[in-house]
Copies of this chain bind each other. A is one copy, B any other.
Amino acid sequence: MSTIESGPLHHIGVVVPSLTEAIPFYRDTLGYTIGRQHFVADQRVRVVFATRGQSRVELLEPTDSSSGIARFLADRGRATMHHLCFEVDDLAAALERLVASGVELVDRAPRRGIDGLVAFLHPRASGGVLVELLQRSNA
Contacts and interface: CB of A to CB of B under 8 A. Distances in A.
A26 B121 CA distance: 13
A8 B53 contact: yes
Interface string A47-90: 00000111111000000000000000000101111001010000
Interface size class of A (residues with CB under 8 A): 35 or more
A129 B80 contact: yes
Interface in A1-56: 2-9, 12, 14, 16-17, 21-22, 25-32, 52-56
Interface of A: 2-9, 12, 14, 16-17, 21-22, 25-32, 52-57, 76, 78-81, 84, 86, 98, 101, 103, 123, 125-129
